[in-house]
Structure 1
Amino acid sequence: MTGQEGLVAGALSAGFLVLAAFFLRFWGRTRDGLFLAFSAAFALMAVNQALPVVLRIAQEDRGGIYLIRLAAFLLIIVAVVGKNLKRDPEG
């Protein structure tokens, strides 16, 4: 892995962590589980970007790392579907 790849992965990880903090702040205000799910998903995306650099995993051996990304996307899908399936008790 080149230094440039590590720099880009670090920048992406930092960006994902900023997004995670952003959604965590909204969750603190509203206590809406969707914001918490988005925060956790972006934290998983940050781990997904940082882990290959930290563990020095070669490009060919990164297949398992992408399961973390899959978990993040599944978390978002489940949260959105769960939010949409909630029924208003008054409606």
Structure 2
Amino acid sequence: MLKILLDGAVMMAYLACALFFLRFHKQSKDRLFALFALAFTLMGLNNLFGLLVGPSLDEERRHYLYVVRLFAYLLILGAIWDKNRAGRSAG
């Protein structure tokens, strides 16, 4: 029961971070903030999906849940790389 509560709190934190970055994207129109918002939304939805489907999956198939999280982390790394690449060409 406590695990479900903590997973819900983590999901809420991920979605709050997504809204935070989305607000900065709307103010600055910077693609970095939009990609961060998308990545945190994916992590929040992954947490929700893990809560809903996770207990019904056996241990051998549980690793599929982490593919979405891996994609979100790669999205963050790609956003940082894109921001640094764009900064060099402007200077």
Which TM bucket (shorter chain)? 0.7 to 0.9
2:58 and 2:31 map into 1 onto residues whose CA distance is 35
Q: Which residue of 39, 42, 48 maps to 1:41? A: 39
2:57 and 2:37 map into 1 onto residues whose CA distance is 28
Query: Which residue of the partner structure matches residue 77 of structure 1?
Result: 77
1:57 and 1:34 map into 2 onto residues whose CA distance is 36
Q: Which residue of 29, 48, 51 maps to 1:50? A: 48
TM-score (ref. length: structure 1): 0.88
User: Match of 1:42, SS?
Assistant: helix
The unaligned stretches of length 5 or more in structure 2 are none
TM-score (ref. length: structure 2): 0.88
The unaligned stretches of length 5 or more in structure 1 are none
Query: Which residue of the partner structure matches residue 14 of structure 1?
Result: 12
2:11 and 2:26 map into 1 onto residues whose CA distance is 22
**Residue identity in the other structure for 1:29:** Q
**Residue identity in the other structure for 1:49:** N
**Residue identity in the other structure for 2:28:** T
2:51 and 2:5 map into 1 onto residues whose CA distance is 9
Which structure shows the bigger proportion of residues in helix conformation? Answer: 2
